[in-house]
Structure 1
């Protein structure tokens, strides 16, 4: 077997990158810092979080792996310090669906008698000004249910709150976004996923800002959860096409929108759904309430 020096691979990658017919992807590696801290810059603490679970229902399914990693960032969205990742596995008390094992590599034997270190996990979450996940709508209900003492934190979502199309990306899947930045990683393991989110947030864009900068701006904006309470049954297809989702527990359609779209959304609902009979409910949301 021929042994190739690392610098030879690097030279080959640089050579291929000169051609429009090739795209070179580099493996994500753990880092301690993405940007140098600026003098006298005020720093805040964030944590990036990911869960692997037994299924999709936060009411009945359970976390089987939880990964949390703390980072420090400035107001411009520069990540100036990255802590060590913490990863815990937990025995769900029921056999895993074989599809979950195939997806995550976790098995009943690996999870047997394992448990999340609650004090350590809560300490990390308590230290954060912001909790970030890629698909917070999925992760947050699981975390709030398993660790209710952390339920009042502000959350942000790199999948839903960043206007990826406007920033020159296509798609919103984490691995696909990361590949467009020039990296790759092995997904569907919590520790790998949070490292990918960190790289993605720290990515420098053509507008001179980072992805985290855009995320912070979006997260700070108020929004509304629109509940189409008592909407006529025959309007369900129009609501679905417009992006509303059925809330089986509350028995109504709902959708989260930016505050800037509230007037247009109210007009559309009154004209296209209620037609003079009833009215929707607009509930204000901040980063603390969002994704519950």
Structure 2
């Protein structure tokens, strides 16, 4: 391991948020072999974070305290479509959340003017409403203040929400991200799918669900889930571990093993059961896997 601090973490550097995820190498058929205590250094999300060296990690189940993210900014976007090259973000919701106190410190929601909204049938936001007079530029400035205060940005579908930032009028965001849909493996006693919806996640923690597809509402659901998580620190620590796309090496008769473990067929690699996993998660599998992305030397 290189560049370890006193707590056994590897300090990372990162490019801006406009850099796309590495090109997947789906041709690899090499079986993955990991040495005990070794965590691959390549973070496929291209975000700044601390990678935990398993040899230095505490065996108590408690996360290391130094550099641990105390302030979370839970955020969500509503947009006029799916393509940031031709569509626009028309609403941002954000909640500043304290991990140690399990408390909401600040929350914000505001609309951004757009000429049309092709997704109105989903988010129920008419374009005309976004053009009513309101201080959205001041709201955007306050949003930047919240970002600056946060240690970690949290969203339920980071790959979707992150891509809108850095495109006018939204600022680029240079903080690390955590995805509550992809990165966190929720406790088995919650009986959730590997990639749960916000609605299912909220209900599994006893959070009432009253609406969907408005930015602040989804942020509130996540904040309420976090308040109910006794093991939130550990979930965050594990969620920040670097993950790589791997392929399950199972026969047709064994395919249920991969499905039960959360692997997806034909997504994103055709003809394969694949999933993004950390080195720790790979060690706990009941079957071997092969990497589909290169590991750093």
TM-score normalised by length of structure 1: 0.59
1:136 aligns with 2:141: no
Aligned positions of 1:187-202 closer than 5 A: 187-202=212-227
Are 1:282 and 2:288 counterparts?
no
Q: Secondary structure at the match of 1:141?
A: helix
CA contact (8 A) 2:75 2:153 kept: yes
TM alignment of 1:106-145, pairs within 5 A? 106-112=125-131, 115-116=136-137, 117-145=139-167
Larger Rg: 1
What CA distance in whole angstroms lies between the structure 1 residues aligned with 2:78 and 2:197? 16
Equivalence for 1:62? 88
In the other structure, the counterpart of 2:228 is 203
SS of the aligned residue for 1:163 comes to coil
Deviations 1:233-291 (A, max 9, x none): xxxxxxx9556527xxxxxxx96432346799xx8558xxxxxxxxx54266xxxxxxx
Q: Tell me the equivalent position of 2:121.
A: 102
Q: Relative CO higher for 1 or 2, CA cutoff 8 Å, sep ≥ 6?
A: 2
Q: 1:221 aligns with which of 231, 238, 241?
A: 241
Q: 1:58 to 1:118 in 2, by over 3 A?
A: same
Runs of 5+ unmatched residues, structure 1: 1-41, 228-239, 247-253, 271-279, 285-292
Q: Against the structure 1 CA distance between its residues 165 and 106, is the aligned structure 2 distance closer, same or farther, given a 3 Å change threshold? A: same
Of stretches 125-134 and 139-148 in structure 1, the one that deviates more from structure 2 is 139-148
Residue matched to 1:89: 111
Q: CA RMSD in A?
A: 3.6
Would the aligned equivalents of 2:78 and 2:123 in 1 still touch at CA under 8 Å? yes
**Within-5 A mapping of 1:1-292:** 44-74=70-100, 78-79=101-102, 81-93=103-115, 95-97=116-118, 100-112=119-131, 115-116=136-137, 117-146=139-168, 147-150=170-173, 152-164=174-186, 166-171=188-193, 172-182=196-206, 183-204=208-229, 209-210=230-231, 212-224=232-244, 242=265, 244-245=267-268, 256-260=276-280, 281-282=293-294
Normalising by structure 2, we get a TM-score of 0.58
How many residues of Structure 1 are paired with residues of Structure 2 in the alignment?
A: 205
Q: Distance in 2 between matches of 1:167 and 1:243?
A: 28
Change (3 A) 1:64 1:159: same
| Cα deviation, residue 164, structure 1 | 3.0
Helix, strand or coil at the partner of 2:106: coil
The runs of 5 or more residues in structure 2 that have no matched partner are: 1-67, 248-262
